[in-house]
Amino acid sequence: MIKESQPRYLVEKSDINIGFMPLADCAPLAVALEQGYFKEQGLNVTLKKQYSWATMRDKLHAGVLDAAQLLAPMPLASSLGINGEKHQVIAPMVLSQNGNAITLSMALYEEVKAFNKLTTLDIPLSAGLLKPIIKARKSVGQKLTFATVYPHSCHYYQLCSWFEHNNIAIDDVEILIITPVNMVEALRSEDIDGFCVGGPWNAKAVRDGVGVTCVTSCDIWPNIPEKVLGMLADWQKSYPETTKALIYALRKACNWLSNVANRFEAARLLSQHQYLDLHLSVIAPSLIGSCLVHHQQSPRHVPSYNQFSSEGAECINRPDHFKGEWLLSHMCKVGQVSSDKLSKNIVAEVFRQDIYQQTFAPKFLVSDIDETTTDIAEQA
Amino acid sequence: MDIAATQELNVLLVEDDKQKAQSLIGALDRSQYCIRHITTTGMPLLKQVEALQPDVIVIDVESPSRDVLESLSIISLANPKPIVMFSEQNDTETISQSVKSGVSAYIAGDIAFERVRSILDTAVARFSEYQLLKKELVHTKQKLSSQRVVEQAKIWLMETKNLTEKEAYHRIRKMAMDNSQKLEEVARSILSLAKMLEKSS
């Protein structure tokens, strides 16, 4: 009974530019394009590779990009006006969750063992084991230095949480922002003692023998949106059916990615020049649920390391308000916004689970859709 | 900060492509600008910014280092800097129109270079205003942190001196009044005393 997929929506605009970052979790966008899911919905999508989140944000604000793969806290930051000019940006779909990890330099890893008189370290590592080192550095007026990729990112909040869970004050360490491509080099040159980034940069550091991936975002706070589909609220108002078509195609890509074998294929795809332009051996691990830990040790099995879809009742692609609240609470916690100045509806205005739900509303369930689409509707 | 037109502006140009860098340097009047050109990224870039302390940083809009530089004004302890971006793409004019305030400014690749000085000056001026707002925010945060310190001191007194919360607070307040100190100062002294006791025990 599987029929040719057909467009489900009367799209108002077919030529669409979507910005993406060359990271492992841009997979849903690449897959939707390469598998023809956008085309099925009557969309002529061009994926535009970006090199900084700040420029991606400005292009989205200016309408140079129709939509973008954004760090989950970014639409909140834009709508609050704490990230460049204030613009109402919405997130009608979650593209992925998890995928980040904290990698320590070889030198710090050895120091942790020595200071705590341990021959091996339990992974996931407790930040508590860093305490004696932080204290020793403090006595000589120094701090451990960690790098992450962007201030309004889960990476930054997760790094802070890892310290806070173990009663380490954020002020006792130095946190810098550097570009993902420069992370491994910074670790190698010991300019930094550790970093929190997404794939493929943790795997790269381990493969190169310059770092040890001690803890993943799944260990710190699992199952929180990592990347979302972002667009201006006004754009969605002008093109409501196009928005649904985008969500539908991307959800189909996410479903395709639920299969490990397919995720390996995605890794192969992403290694190409127009995407990550890196070797498969560093892109594949996180995508297939393998966390490389140390270049001389076995990898860890972390099944939801890069997660794009879920089975069962809880749908990770729906931008649930309580997950938005979680992100917002961390923005407040690190002092990026003060909680007393927030409007009550901010999360509901940004995390548009209503648009997501409308996309898969039963009234669209006509008999001529294929089995995959039926599955999607049921799960949504 | 009002920069007189005659004052020399320290410009840090971050650009990998030598040709692009040269054309931009060529367009800027050497008598008005002291231009340093660097090609580094990542940590070395941060160190250069720290060492050179430019008035303004000029960077290609497509450079990955943009996040690094922009973040200096958000989380880093280093001195934040105004950033001006240039681009050869036509869409930059569109972006430029939308980015009217904030810490960044855009210039398109084929701009009339007489405008560059005014763009750079405007960026520096806007940035100073923005910094002022940030300082006010820091002040508010300090207020909050002083509340936290008092809270911690109270807890320590409750735990070690077996006081109720009310008694602990009254003790801190009395000490503050007796010594004509702020509550926060007294709380800090209590906490540092607590630390010393912890070490010696």
Give this complex's ipTM: 0.85
Whether B3 is covered by a domain: the verdict is no
What residues form DSSP beta bridges with A300?
A291
SS3 content of chain A, % helix, strand, coil (to 5): 45, 20, 35
Higher pLDDT, A236 or B57: A236
Asked whether the beta carbons of A184 and A201 are under 8 A apart, the reply is yes
Instruction: Output the CA–CA distances (angstroms, integers) from residue A309 to A36, A96, A323, B7, in the order listed.
Output: 19, 7, 16, 57
Looking at the 3D structure of chain A, how many domains does it have? 2
Convert the pLDDT of each residue in A96-151 to its tens digit: 999 999 999 999 999 999 999 999 999 999 999 999 999 999 999 999 999 999 99
Whether A277 is covered by a domain: the verdict is no
**Beta carbons of A59 and B62 less than 8 Å apart:** no
- B7: Cβ–Cβ under 8 A, 6 or more apart, which residues? none
For the record, the structure tokens of A139 come out as 């006595």
Nearest to A28 by CA among A343, A297, A254: A254
Q: Which of A52, A62, A334 is the closest to B98 by Cβ?
A: A62
**Beta carbons of B104 and A176 less than 8 Å apart:** no
What is the nearest CA distance from B151 to chain A, expressed in angstroms? 16
Nearest to A288 by CA among A254, A252, A256, A258: A258
Q: B-chain residues within 8 Å CB-CB of A180? A: 64
Task: Supply the DSSP symbol for A337.
Answer: S
- CB-based contact, A339 to chain B, within 8 Å: no
Q: Are strands B9-14 and A144-148 parallel, antiparallel or unpaired?
A: unpaired
Whether B171 is covered by a domain: the verdict is yes
Q: What is the CATH classification number for the domain harbouring A162?
A: 3.40.190.10
Q: What is the CATH classification number for the domain harbouring B158?
A: 1.10.10.10
pLDDT at A211: 97
- CB-based contact, A118 to chain B, within 8 Å: no
Convert the pLDDT of each residue in A269-311 to its tens digit: 999 999 999 999 999 999 999 999 999 999 999 999 999 998 7
Domain enclosing residue A127, as ranges? 100-220
**A113 and A161 share one domain:** yes
**Residue B186 to residue A194: CA distance in whole angstroms:** 37
Asked whether the beta carbons of B59 and B49 are under 8 A apart, the reply is no
- B181: Cβ–Cβ under 8 A, 6 or more apart, which residues? B175
Give percent of chain A with pLDDT exceeding 90.
Answer: 83
pLDDT at A196: 97
The residue to which tokens 């380490």 are assigned: A168
Res A254 pLDDT > 60: yes
Convert the pLDDT of each residue in B106-164 to its tens digit: 665 555 566 677 777 777 777 777 777 767 777 777 777 788 888 888 988 888 888 88
Convert the pLDDT of each residue in A165-211 to its tens digit: 999 999 999 999 998 889 999 999 999 999 999 999 999 999 999 99
What is the nearest CA distance from A316 to chain B, expressed in angstroms? 28
Confidence of residue A3 (pLDDT cuts 50, 70, 90): very low
Convert the pLDDT of each residue in A261-279 to its tens digit: 999 999 999 999 999 999 9
**Beta carbons of B67 and A150 less than 8 Å apart:** yes
What is the nearest CA distance from B104 to chain A, expressed in angstroms? 8
**Beta carbons of A62 and B141 less than 8 Å apart:** no
The residue to which tokens 């849903």 are assigned: A28
**Beta carbons of A58 and B101 less than 8 Å apart:** no
pLDDT at B89: 64
User: pTM for this structure?
Assistant: 0.82
- CB-based contact, A258 to chain B, within 8 Å: no
Whether B40 is covered by a domain: the verdict is yes
pLDDT at B142: 75
Whether A295 is covered by a domain: the verdict is no
**B177 and B106 share one domain:** no
**A104 and A94 share one domain:** no
Confidence of residue A367 (pLDDT cuts 50, 70, 90): very low
What is the nearest CA distance from A138 to chain B, expressed in angstroms? 15
Give DSSP secondary structure letters for A50-109.
-S-HHHHHHHHHHTSSSEEEEETTHHHHHHHT-SSS---EEEEEEEEE--EEEEEEHHHH
**Residue A59 to residue B185: CA distance in whole angstroms:** 48
Interface of B with A in 124-163 (CB under 8 A): 137, 140-141
The residue to which tokens 């004004």 are assigned: B73
pLDDT at B26: 76
Q: What is the CATH classification number for the domain harbouring B72?
A: 3.40.50.2300
Chain B: residue nearest A55 by CA? B61
**Beta carbons of B43 and A192 less than 8 Å apart:** yes
Q: B-chain residues within 8 Å CB-CB of A174? A: 77
B163: left (phi over 0), alpha (psi -120 to 50) or beta: beta
**B146 and B108 share one domain:** no
pLDDT at B104: 60
Selected for mutation to probe chain B from A57, A65, A179, A184 (highest B CB count within 10 Å) is A179
Sign of CA dihedral A319, A322, A324, A326: negative
**A120 and A183 share one domain:** yes
| Cβ atoms within 10 Å, residue A195 | 30
Q: A-chain residues within 8 Å CB-CB of B104? A: 54, 58, 84
pLDDT at A1: 35
**Beta carbons of B43 and A52 less than 8 Å apart:** no
Size (chain A), residues:
380
Res A51 pLDDT > 50: yes
What is the nearest CA distance from B73 to chain A, expressed in angstroms? 10
pLDDT at A163: 96
**Residue B105 to residue B95: CA distance in whole angstroms:** 9
**Residue A166 to residue A164: CA distance in whole angstroms:** 5
**Beta carbons of B43 and A338 less than 8 Å apart:** no
Whether A249 is covered by a domain: the verdict is yes
Domain enclosing residue B64, as ranges? 9-136
What is the nearest CA distance from A287 to chain B, expressed in angstroms? 24
Convert the pLDDT of each residue in B82-112 to its tens digit: 788 877 665 655 666 555 544 566 665 555 5
Looking at the 3D structure of chain B, how many domains does it have? 2
For the record, the structure tokens of A231 come out as 């667009």
Q: Which of B43, B95, B106 is the closest to A191 by Cβ?
A: B43
Whether A296 is covered by a domain: the verdict is no
Sign of CA dihedral B61, B64, B69, B71: positive
Whether B182 is covered by a domain: the verdict is yes
**Residue A38 to residue A31: CA distance in whole angstroms:** 9
What is the nearest CA distance from B24 to chain A, expressed in angstroms? 20
Res A11 pLDDT > 60: yes
**Beta carbons of B61 and A85 less than 8 Å apart:** no
- CB-based contact, A177 to chain B, within 8 Å: yes
**A367 and A249 share one domain:** yes
- CB-based contact, B87 to chain A, within 8 Å: no
Whether A92 is covered by a domain: the verdict is yes
Whether A369 is covered by a domain: the verdict is yes
Nearest to A323 by CA among A285, A361, A350: A350
**Residue A32 to residue A39: CA distance in whole angstroms:** 9
For the record, the structure tokens of A96 come out as 């992925």
Res A2 pLDDT > 90: no
Q: Are strands A67-71 and A44-49 parallel, antiparallel or unpaired?
A: unpaired
**A35 and A88 share one domain:** yes
